[in-house]
Structure 1
């Protein structure tokens, strides 16, 4: 696979750099490369338990004083729900942070429950009172998902601001809907009803587009920040001539801020996250609508399963208090968090903030590499109406 080849390439480049440490570094030359080929054991409500390998790599493309650590996280996982999840996600900073390359590549053979649109959908399957003949509540979906996202960002002078362009492709195929055999009503699935109403096919959809991006990157370390902030504005245009089923456009807003509470122990901090995703024009297929847990690393909405809420517009916020558990060391840490999400849907006549779904929880952290702050995180989150979940991951949630 391409991801494995990339890791091997980086590994051999690192060996050559170490062998020639007396030679002056050139701009954008890989240095201080560290690969952690972790066996992966993870968990979340959408996938159950996940087993496989999750290699994590960090390196620098320039001097430490002027260049952020680059990072790449890969996954080759099989789950207790008989899913295959293969992915590679990267943030690469060239020398002096002059360019940032952001990648998100995925191939999933997977499944997931969906519950219909908006913030008011119930847990248990039932007929939608606002859409007679249509399921509302939990419905299972099997599908394949191919994603290729790659964004190039150029630094503006010596500032913390970047402008760039990206190509984003999502292909959802072999979509099959089903429901508990004990439920005998013959109703139309939410995915089928929405796609048929909007003029999409039900079993395969493609979204292919160009993004225009503005970024402020002011974090000290992207994977586990201790201070400052990050902001993203991304406007995506999905024209039919690039392969999209229908022409559409979306707007994504992402802001994160980190407040150290103790200058001598910067791991003791308050982290805030605001996230919005909006359909601006045209129509999106059901699977491509804004949904909880579909940020780049799938960390939003702890307390609910991925895909639990979905709509044409989404607003999400989270606050997390992070703290060390040792007096003089940073190996062990803890966290408590609260979050809230709201979804709007024209199809169900539900506006943003008509209903807000809160979540909360606590977590435990083990820092396995203090230089690049590689951390194993374990969280338990609680949502409304009995929703909850255990989350085991690499690095901080945001």
Structure 2
């Protein structure tokens, strides 16, 4: 869905809360805490006007000489379409990086368009030629989401590798499909047709599972890396005895690499990102299928609306050129990026790599804390068939 207008105004006071004694570090205590309260006002067609807060924080749980920076990003928003959007995402490194705690908590009372499954899902609504009687193209959905994801990982010796487990819970409820099209009552919505065919409720369902995780964390600062790389392999099992409506398993692979182009100005770099999310066994409810824009920080698919493409398997890739805009200062920077995603669906007989949905765009960066690299990012992306969007966030996209 094309975003017609987005206006985000940051109105706040930046304050820094430092430890009283920065020369003596105690394990598992907070040091050099930096809190950035960012009141926000925004507008887009999906949410209307949005009002609230977009705070972020960085800190150390040990000596910065041997402990990576922890970070938190939150959103607390209310919209003129009577939507509530609350989220909390965090990466916490304990003393000497021995443990990593990764959290993704959300509570949404919201609405969002869905377009059907596969990479070829069109913008305009109409009957799916592959499934007579089923709607395809833009369909509006109201729903509530409660999400609790928490992962604990242990460092392997003195290496950059971590192993751990996590618990992931999603509750979608109060799901309602609707359309302004005159013939909508004659067609079955994509969400309902998919779930009914698999014996899943159309108005409420739970996905509850355990993840086995392996991470390589080699970035210098996770919120805005200048060099090195990151990798994640996560296998998720969703058994019915933990509450899942259907048993299933998935695998997620995520790799990011940062190629520094200048030793003098390390902000001058090329960043690449590859991600795959695959259904391995069983059946997932519709809204739990791999989808664009539903990664942890919602940064994939700039140029497309969240949920624009969805399928049983997903492959996504992105490359971004980042550069400073000042000769001797780091306050302002810029970026240009390209991305592409491909989705498979058994319902539409689409396979991975049969079709890609590319996007491209450019952006502005404003670094409000040089030491911690806390950065406000503003991007505009263009996609296929008139899709486009404006994105304003805290910290780099990946």
Which TM-score band applies after superposition, normalised by the shorter structure? over 0.9
Once the 2 structures are TM-superposed, how far is the Cα of residue 29 of structure 1 from its aligned partner? 1.1
Q: How far has the Cα of 1:51 moved from its partner?
A: 2.4
CA contact (8 A) 1:44 1:305 kept: no
- Residue 74 (structure 1) shift: 1.4
Q: 2:112 corresponds to which residue?
A: 112
Quick one: structure 1 residues 305 and 23, their matched pair in 2 at CA, closer, same or farther if it must change by over 3 Å? Answer: closer
Contact 2:22 2:31 in 1 (8 A): no
Change (3 A) 1:256 1:81: farther
Aligned to 1:139: 139
What residue in structure 2 maps to residue 154 of structure 1? Answer: 154
Corresponding residue SS for 1:354? coil
Q: By how many angstroms is 1:82 displaced?
A: 3.3
TM-score normalised according to structure 2 size: 0.93
Measured after TM superposition, the shift of residue 79 of structure 1 is: 3.0
Q: How many residues align?
A: 383
1:75 maps to what in 2? 75
Alignment of 1:367-382 (within 5 A): 367-382=367-382
Residue in 1 that maps onto 2:4? none
TM-score, length-normalised on structure 1? 0.93
How far apart in 1 are the matches of 2:62 and 2:310? 41
- Relative to its length, the structure with more helix (as a share) is 1
Check conservation: 1:380, 1:388, Cα contact below 8 A: yes
- C-alpha distance in 2 between matches for 1:104 and 1:43: 24
Q: Distance in 1 between matches of 2:261 and 2:394?
A: 24
Tell me which moved more, 54-63 or 93-102.
Answer: 54-63
2:275 and 2:317 in contact (8 A); partners too: yes
Tell me how far apart the structure 2 counterparts of residues 396 and 26 of structure 1 sit (CA, whole Å). Answer: 30
Alpha-carbon shift at residue 49 of structure 1 (Å): 4.9
User: Which residue of the partner structure matches residue 6 of structure 1?
Assistant: none
Deviations 1:271-323 (A, max 9, x none): 00000100000000000000000100000001110000000000000000001
Say yes or no: does 1:176 pair with 2:176.
yes
- Secondary structure of the residue that 2:191 maps to in structure 1? helix
Distance 2:356 2:135 in 1: 22
Unaligned segments of structure 1, at least 5 residues = 1-10
Counterpart for residue 279 of structure 1: 279
Contact 2:25 2:63 in 1 (8 A): no
Gaps of 5+ in 2: 1-14
For the aligned residue pairs, the C-alpha RMSD in angstroms reads 1.6
201-210 or 72-81: which moved more? 72-81
